[in-house]
Amino acid sequence: MTPKRRKAKATAVAAANIAFIKYWGMRDEELVLPVNPSISMTLDACKSRCTAELLPGGAETEVLLRSTYGKLEPAPERFARGVEAHVERLAAWAGVSSPMRIAAHNNFPTGAGLASSAAGFTALTVAVVGALGKKAEPTELSVLARLSGSGSAARSVFGGYVEWPAGEHEDAGHGVQLAPPEYWDLCNVVAIVDPRPKSVSSREGHRLAPTSPYWERRQEELPARLDVVRRAIAVRDLELLGPVIEKDAVELHLVAMSSERPIFYWQAGTLAVLEAARRMRDEGLQVYATIDAGPNVHLICRPEDEPAVAARVRSLEHVDYVIRDRVGGPPAFDDRHLF
């Protein structure tokens, strides 16, 4: 993953991840440190591509997005500012000062609770470090990706099953791989009920979380829940994993809905997919739902059940379309540059 020679231009591809135990609540906003540990599965199909190129001194950093039609366009102001700040952070880490041209593209809906920031900021981190000709171990890349502000990016730096411990010290705040992707072939059928960007950011959700009366209760239950998830991954037991991840997802939303300024990410389609998951289980399919900060539902299942799950979910009235994903690997460099 680390280039052998200095390159002025690099492209990296990184995947989104789906949290089994959710990160919801920050204990340090500046250092982007979580209150509780989280565990996720890195995905394979939902990917961000990022190209970074050094520009001659005197130029200004430029941030572009590639549209679905393949056209490169200037990124919206707010997004561009976040990217520029991260590029500066990475340049300072590398001990250089250089403007850059950055282009990014997601092959899945952005800002809709599908961890597009985790994939995007991981790809950006790896591409910029590559373009700067620097080497970094995955743990260091994970810390750098996290400092972008997208804490869950700390997990997308690794493939397979990943824990982000709550870590007492800033440097301990990196992801740790619990198992590689080939250890357990799990599928994720994503029911897209609304592909539009969510109206309340995760950052706002993290801030508001401790104001919910259910916040403390979830924190008390998390150590036991995390243990079950670690054990379920170790022994590849979906019937052990499933009920716990579904419970944790529902509780994240319970906290969000009951925080001082309530956040409702769920839509009618969200409930319809949750209900369909329960029915499919009654019919003997091993399928469990989880939902990040958005209305779209991730259905975790075994490869042998996946076609039936995908067909059922696709037939639901409120479901726009499905993304058929599975466990995937770490970010990688790629020669297909965006410019």
Chain residues that interact with ligand DP6, rule: CB under 6 A:
19, 22-24, 38, 115, 117-118, 150-152, 202-203, 292-293
Write down the least CB distance from residue 118 to ligand DP6, Å: 5
Taking the complex as a whole, the smallest distance from the CB of residue 85 to ligand DP6 amounts, in Å, to 14
Q: HEC profile for the chain?
A: CCCCCCCCEEEEEEEEEEEEECCCCEEECCCCEECCCEEEEEEEEEEEEEEEEECCCCCCCEEEEECCCCCEEECCHHHHHHHHHHHHHHHHHHCCCCCEEEEEEECCCCCCCCCHHHHHHHHHHHHHHHHCCCCCCHHHHHHHHHCCCCCCHHHHCCCCEEEECCCCCHHHCCCEEEECHHHCCCEEEEEECCCCCCCCCHHHHHHHHHHCCCHHHHHHHHHHHHHHHHHHHHHCCHHHHHHHHHHHHHHHHHHHHCCCCCCCCCCHHHHHHHHHHHHHHHCCCCEEEECCCCCCEEEEECCCCHHHHHHHHHCCCCCCEEEEEEECCCCEECCCCCC
Quote the least distance from Cβ 275 to ligand DP6, whole Å. Answer: 21
Minimum gap (Å) between residue 125 Cβ and ligand DP6: 13
The residue among 115 and 323 lying less far from ligand DP6, judged by its C-beta, is 115
- Pick the closer one to ligand DP6 by CB: 24 or 93: 24
Nearer to ligand DP6, 200 or 271 (CB): 200
Rank residues 19 and 280 by Cβ distance to ligand DP6 and give the closer one.
Answer: 19
- The CB-of-149 to ligand DP6 minimum distance in angstroms stands at 6
Judged by CB, which is closer to ligand DP6: 2, or 139? 139
